Structure 1
Amino acid sequence: MNNYMKVIDILLDKLKKVLVRFKNAKFGLLFLINIFKIPDFITDKRVNIISKFRVGFSFATAMLYIISGIDFIPEMITGVFGFFDDLFVMIWCLGIVSEEIEKYKKLIKDDEDDNIIKNVKFEIKDE
């Protein structure tokens, strides 16, 4: 019984780390706004190829898992509870995409044009 409690504690700690990671990536309703940046993210040459691969791999994994008949918790045996593993995989996928989009937004914000001069005070005098 003690071993089962250790396994449950380890699983809950992992789940907690995943949820904190998603919270830091601003996962939630803001993701619905970020989803429109995915085409720009994929086509932008400033984005690392590994980040693009992570997004593509997470989408492909989630779609294959949801479409395939292989589940950790089968729906035929457990009924509605069998959809929890599908939901978890989908949340995992959306969390990774949200995290990468937030990195992309920060990259865009930090990458400013060198030809623009900021914080300059000027005035125009008409003579």
Structure 2
Amino acid sequence: MNKATNTGNRLLDSLKRVLVRFREAGYGVKFIKNLPKLADYLTDRHVSIIGRFKVFFSIVATLIYFVFSIDIIPEILFGPLGFFDDAFLLIWAIGNINEELEKYKGPQDDGIKSDKKVYKDPNIIDDARFKIRDED
């Protein structure tokens, strides 16, 4: 009995973490707002390989799950309850991807006032000081 309780508690804790990530993603609104950063995030060489793999895996796993007919809770047997696993996977992917994109502040994010590392466009010179002198 104790083993089943521990397993149930771990499962509920995992579900809670997924739902908290989804809430932090603004229930998908922040995810949509951060979506244009995705291409920069995946191609930026300053981003860790683990972060890129996490985002790539989330996208691929979600696409594979929805494209193939493999289902954890089949809708044909359980009716509307079968959509819970689909919703859970989608919520998990949105939370994962948004969490990584929130950490990433790319070239399009200027004027950020936080302690997060900012990757700037190397073709732009910041803090250049110059004077214009009028020669007579």
Report which of the two has the higher share of helix. Answer: 1
Counterpart of 2:126, as a letter, is: I
- Contact 1:26–1:99 (Cα < 8 Å) also in 2: no
1:91 corresponds to which residue?
91
Counterpart of 1:37, as a letter, is: K
1:11 corresponds to which residue?
11
- Of 61-70 and 6-15, deviating more is 6-15
For residues 19-66 of structure 1, give each alpha carbon's deviation from its aligned partner in whole angstroms, at most 9, with x where no partner exists. 234445655311111011111112222112221111111111111111
How far apart are 1:102 and its partner, in Å?
0.9
TM-score by length of 2: 0.69
1:56/1:30 Cα in 2 relative to 1: closer, same or farther (>3 Å)?
A: same
Partners of 1:16 and 1:106 in 2: how far apart?
30
- Contact 2:31–2:98 (Cα < 8 Å) also in 1: yes
1:116 aligns with 2:126: yes
Counterpart of 1:46, as a letter, is: H
1:50 corresponds to which residue?
50
Partners of 1:98 and 1:18 in 2: how far apart?
12
1:32 aligns with 2:27: no
TM-score by length of 1: 0.73
Structure 2 unmatched ranges of 5 or more: 113-117
2:75 corresponds to which residue?
75
1:105/1:27 Cα in 2 relative to 1: closer, same or farther (>3 Å)?
A: farther
Alpha-carbon RMSD across the aligned residues, in angstroms, is 3.3
SS in 1 for 2:36: helix
1:69/1:4 Cα in 2 relative to 1: closer, same or farther (>3 Å)?
A: same
Partners of 2:45 and 2:106 in 1: how far apart?
15
For residues 54-96 of structure 1, give each alpha carbon's deviation from its aligned partner in whole angstroms, at most 9, with x where no partner exists. 1111111111111222211011101121111011111111111
Structure 1 unmatched ranges of 5 or more: none
1:59 corresponds to which residue?
59
